[in-house]
Amino acid sequence: MVVWDSRGRRSTRETMIDARRTPQRPFGVFPTPVSAIRIRLSALTPILLLGSILLLILAVPHAFAQPFTAFGKNKVQYSTLDWNVLESDHFDLYYYTEEEELARLALEMAEESYQDLQAKFAHQIHRRIPLIIYNSFMDFEQNNITPYFLPEGVAGLTEFARGRVLVPFNGSLFDFRTTIHHELVHVYQLSITAQVYREHFKQPLVSPPLWFTEGLAVHWTETRDPEADMILRDLVLSGGLPSIDEFWRYAGSYLTYKLGQSVLDYIGENYGEDRIHQIYRRLYVANDFASVLQDVLGVSQQELSERWAFDLQTRYFPDVAKAEPARFDSRVLTSFGGANMKAVPLPDSLPGLENRFVFLSPRDGFTNVYMGSRSGKERDVEVLIKGERSSAFESLHLFRNRIDMSPDGKLLLVSKHQNRDEIVVYDVVKRKESGRFGWNHLVGIASPSWASDERRLVFTGLSRDGFSDLYLYDIESEELRRLTYDRYEDVEPSFCPWDEKIVFSSDRAPGGRDGVRNLFLLDLETGKLEHLTRGPWVDMAPAWEEKTKSILFVSNRDRFQAVYRVDVDGNGHRLTRTLDGIIDPRPLPDGSGFLATVYRRGQFQIYQFDYPDSLGESLALADYATSAPWHWETASPDVSSRKAEYTTEFSLDFAQGGVLVDPSLRTGEGLQFVMSDMMANHLLAFDLSNTTFSTSEFLRNFSAGITYFNLRNRLNYGLSAFHYSGDFYDNLSFPFFEQRSGASVLLSYPLSKFERVQTSFALAYSETDRPSISFKRKGAVGTHFVSYVHDNSLWLPTGPIDGRRFNLTAGLRLNLKRGAEESTWLLGDYRQYFRLGSRSAYAVRLQGRWTEGDNPEFYWIGGSLGMRTYDRRAIAGKRTLMLNQEIRFPLVRGLLLGLPMGNIELPGVQGALFLDAGSGWDEGWPPPWEGSYGVGFRMSFGGLLVFRLDTGRRTDFKSFGKQNHTRFYLGWNY
């Protein structure tokens, strides 16, 4: 899950995903200050996939879908997609039935990009490129190729394992083409890097850093745009422009893309575009990327950084003479967290809610709806709706949605709910939901806006076949009327308060295929559709202003993202001239000014502006000549393509093997490999292993298993056949021999992203010999487990910090030969995290495990992950009960060690105060209770590599121990 720190930067958890945000949609549906996320998955994808499905525990839990594991959220396949294939000269394009027209167009775009990049890289890719397109983000985020959950704003991704390119369509042709081209840059990057190292007979020691790879993808896809200007200007003028060797600090954030793009722009202009591909060709000459840069460009990275910075200063310093900081003419209303946006003022007529406004923010890690007071900064801020914790508000689409408020205090917003978006009506006065609307044929809904009668609302809907149009819904009659019906993307509609007119932003403007958007007016009575603004730029976020009978909007027409006002004839003025970018203006009820989001110092905060006394330069629709609209393209019939059926063909994702030799114990050797099909809907996992004392025991200790997983539908299932044999150790480290051959079925059904039911059935012939409990059995056994899992936790790198997760499991093993129960299990694990601050929480875990039968399990609860001052098996039994409490808080933000050879930056340290109580016993009640209390420290180096140090004392709750016990371990917090 995303966690924002107080400076508005995402936590390092995000760095697992190499991302670039939507240029078009970060905070509205249109070009706004954050660029598109395009993810590259690491080569660890198959390993993690294996872990998440097979290992059950040790994979990164919260960020990955976990169909068959103890906790974790679910990636729900609401739709079963029927895939087809379209083959061109260089691509295998995978699409599903509804999107064939789009598929042909995508293929044409891809081939065009291929030609362009072939020249730029002077490189040929020797394999066919799998390109997979989706009709909507909803379908895209359901894919099984990425085990990760895709954050909002992801526009596409390229994964390393098989070079698959995944691109969702969001209604905009420009976005689609841009994303395809961007991802193909990554495909070329991977290919040329591999070739260079292969040819030069070297290990791939040097890989271009993230800023370079993403910066190049943006550089060769887009021209420098006003959004980039806004971000870079902010960095330069605030003195916060990092040097190139500091770019790593921004890995995973949108700044990586913009900084990288800027440096690549500079290299291209000053050293030549041909130098860029030379950088790849010479990766082998040095042991670090900075040296490669120097080899190609002839200047050190430091000098390059200085020259680039100077170039930016030359460009942006003069802007200070043209504009002022936004805060000089406004009041700041928010400051906590890095992203507060989509502000809408409440009407002043609502009793007790005067001077209030509503906004969206992920300030605590979850995106919520907040209400605050306009009387001061961070005044009276409270949560109205908690998002991202429940199925009803699974996602509030922070980056691509606006909200609206009616005169009687009804808030309109959009939330994802199960397999579709829904419009939610929330009564701010009564503090409860008063309506919810959704339509199965619309996979995406955005930016609803009230009509003055509060009976109708207009919104943007994305249909299943990829049309983004305006819709009008009458709440009383329940009539849904489609207002536009074409391939243009019509977004951010706003209903006129005094007339039957709707203003919206659209790419139907001339130049729309290249990213231009203008404002249009739709007259509901006559059906007439006409330009309100015109010109080769982006006009967006229109909002009606009743007092002046005009429309506020944002435009980037002169490299500054500023607020303008026009009347219904398209005549108006510029209102703001600020150095900081402004988005989403919404007029105040009294007509004295407006609220807007301002980008400053890398953060998005809400400001209140008064209307200026003097107006800026005028604009008029007549200033710009009309020109013919562009036509949404259809694929040329000359594009060579062949249709093919999608077949489930497996190829190897991951293989590993190992040998272990311990002269005094035994040898061990194992082999595992995982195969999957192109969509990763079908997986095959094989494992072979052997642990033996001697060669004569080789066959006795031989194990093998094969498992097939089907993740294509909502119900995930697995089928497994296995033969396990050898000497094992139980939880108390007592040895036992078991030989088991049989088959099992695993089922997992997600009820929502946060809840699932999973069950397994196994039938096996088993020989077990457990001397420690005098148990011996030969015969058929049947085992059945069923679990209910809930998880909506929010994580820091060290572990959960908010939300709740629990697992209730029951199990039964039957001795089929005797027709009797052999073992039963009941397991319950409940964990809740009560947020105390942005990085602090009170965490509670209540865990109980109970087992009974002739062949029971034994559990232990000691150790760093349980009762912290006890050895792992010091408290054990057939039954355990444990209560852990911990207050987690940040201790040190980061450690910088200054060493003679250079600085080393270490991650921050989390502190913890803990109090544990628990017991393990075999029979009877009450059990003897033990406790531990103390302090702990955690330091995360990424993934499972969380160093833990706990020190404390024991207690039996009658007396307190005097000896300190210290434990060091690795692993996340519970």
Partner 1 sequence: MARFASSLTVLVFLLLPLQTVVAQEIGRDDSVWSGQPFEVVWQTDAGRAVTSPLQVTPDGYLVAVTTDRKIYCHKVTTGDRKWRRRFKRDLTAAPAVVGGISETGFILLQEGHGREGKLRGLRSRDGKDAWEKPWGDRLTWLEPAGDAVLTLGLSGTLHSLDPVDGSENWKLDGFGWDAPRGVLDGDDVFVVARADSVYSVDAESGEIRWRSAVPGRFMAPPSKNGDILAVTTVEGQLYQVDARTGEVIPSGTRRSMQLQPPVQRDASVITVSSDGWVQSGRFLWPLGVDEALDWEIDLDEAVACPAAMAGEFVLVATAAGRLVALRADNGTQVWSLELSDRLAAAPILSDGYLVVATNQGDIFVYNHD
Residues that bind partner 1 (CB under 8 A): 89, 115-116, 118-124, 126, 195, 198-201, 272-274, 278, 285, 295-298
DSSP annotation of 270 reads H
What the block records as the tokens of 873 is 């098996």
CA 771, CA 755: separation in Å to the nearest integer?
40
Q: What are phi and psi of 564, to 5 degrees?
A: -125, 165
CA 642, CA 821: separation in Å to the nearest integer?
59
- 45 and 52 Cβ atoms separated by less than 8 Å: no
State in angstroms the smallest separation of the CB of 273 from partner 1.
7
What the block records as the tokens of 692 is 């033996």
Q: Which is nearer to partner 1, 200 or 249 (CB)?
A: 200
State in angstroms the smallest separation of the CB of 468 from partner 1.
34
Q: Which is nearer to partner 1, 282 or 559 (CB)?
A: 282
- 789 and 758 Cβ atoms separated by less than 8 Å: yes
What the block records as the tokens of 960 is 């307190």
Q: Which is nearer to partner 1, 295 or 769 (CB)?
A: 295
State in angstroms the smallest separation of the CB of 311 from partner 1.
17
Q: Which is nearer to partner 1, 295 or 433 (CB)?
A: 295
Residue with tokens 């961007």: 182
- 807 and 70 Cβ atoms separated by less than 8 Å: yes
Q: Which is nearer to partner 1, 116 or 427 (CB)?
A: 116
- 675 and 650 Cβ atoms separated by less than 8 Å: yes
Q: Which is nearer to partner 1, 292 or 538 (CB)?
A: 292
Q: Which is nearer to partner 1, 108 or 492 (CB)?
A: 108
> In sequence order, what are the beta bridge partners of 331?
608
CA 166, CA 146: separation in Å to the nearest integer?
10
Q: Which is nearer to partner 1, 114 or 247 (CB)?
A: 114
What the block records as the tokens of 14 is 């995000």
> In sequence order, what are the beta bridge partners of 826?
810, 850
Closest to 90 (Cα-Cα) out of 110, 62, 105: 110
What the block records as the tokens of 53 is 């499905």
Q: Is 33 helix (H, G, I), strand (E, B) or coil?
A: coil
CA 722, CA 495: separation in Å to the nearest integer?
63
- 161 and 27 Cβ atoms separated by less than 8 Å: no
State in angstroms the smallest separation of the CB of 278 from partner 1.
8
Please report the beta strands in 351-451, taking only residues with DSSP state E, as ranges in sequence order. 356-361, 368-373, 379-385, 404-405, 410-417, 420-427, 432-437, 442-450
State in angstroms the smallest separation of the CB of 199 from partner 1.
4
Q: What is the 3-state secondary structure (H, E, C) of 164-175?
A: CEEEECCCCHHH
Q: Which is nearer to partner 1, 267 or 540 (CB)?
A: 267
Residue with tokens 């006890």: 870
State in angstroms the smallest separation of the CB of 167 from partner 1.
23
Which run of H or E residues covers position 423? strand 420-427
State in angstroms the smallest separation of the CB of 194 from partner 1.
12
Q: Which is nearer to partner 1, 83 or 188 (CB)?
A: 188
What share of residues in the chain are helix, strand, coil (percent, to 5)?
Answer: 20, 45, 40
State in angstroms the smallest separation of the CB of 213 from partner 1.
20
Q: Which is nearer to partner 1, 201 or 957 (CB)?
A: 201
Q: Which is nearer to partner 1, 298 or 837 (CB)?
A: 298
CA 840, CA 385: separation in Å to the nearest integer?
21
State in angstroms the smallest separation of the CB of 367 from partner 1.
44
Q: How far is CA 537 from each of CA 511, 580, 942, rounded to the nearest angstrom?
A: 9, 18, 42
What the block records as the tokens of 766 is 């088993």
- 825 and 808 Cβ atoms separated by less than 8 Å: no
Which amino acid makes up residue 117? L
Q: Which is nearer to partner 1, 119 or 970 (CB)?
A: 119
What single string gives the DSSP state of each residue in 160-215?
Answer: TTT--EEEE--S-HHHHHHHHHHHHHHHHHHHHHHHHHHHTT--------HHHHHH
State in angstroms the smallest separation of the CB of 514 from partner 1.
20
Q: Which is nearer to partner 1, 121 or 806 (CB)?
A: 121
What the block records as the tokens of 448 is 């609803």
State in angstroms the smallest separation of the CB of 184 from partner 1.
14
State in angstroms the smallest separation of the CB of 809 from partner 1.
55
Cα of first residue to Cα of last residue in the chain, in angstroms, is 16
State in angstroms the smallest separation of the CB of 179 from partner 1.
22
Q: Which is nearer to partner 1, 115 or 731 (CB)?
A: 115
Residue with tokens 């330091």: 939
State in angstroms the smallest separation of the CB of 219 from partner 1.
15
Q: Within the chain, what is the greatest distance between any pair of CA atoms? A: 95
Residue with tokens 């809400």: 606
Exposure of 882 by Cβ count < 10 A (0-12 exposed, 13-18 middle, 19+ buried)? buried
Q: Which is nearer to partner 1, 123 or 753 (CB)?
A: 123
Q: What are phi and psi of 647, to 5 degrees?
A: -120, 145
Q: Which is nearer to partner 1, 121 or 212 (CB)?
A: 121
State in angstroms the smallest separation of the CB of 90 from partner 1.
10
State in angstroms the smallest separation of the CB of 121 from partner 1.
7
Q: Which is nearer to partner 1, 119 or 644 (CB)?
A: 119
- 553 and 585 Cβ atoms separated by less than 8 Å: yes
State in angstroms the smallest separation of the CB of 122 from partner 1.
4
- 169 and 179 Cβ atoms separated by less than 8 Å: no
Please report the beta strands in 775-864, taking only residues with DSSP state E, as ranges in sequence order. 775-791, 794-796, 799-815, 820-837, 840-853, 859-860
How many Cα atoms are found within 13 Å in the side-chain-facing hemisphere of 147?
A: 27
Residue with tokens 């775009």: 109
State in angstroms the smallest separation of the CB of 183 from partner 1.
19
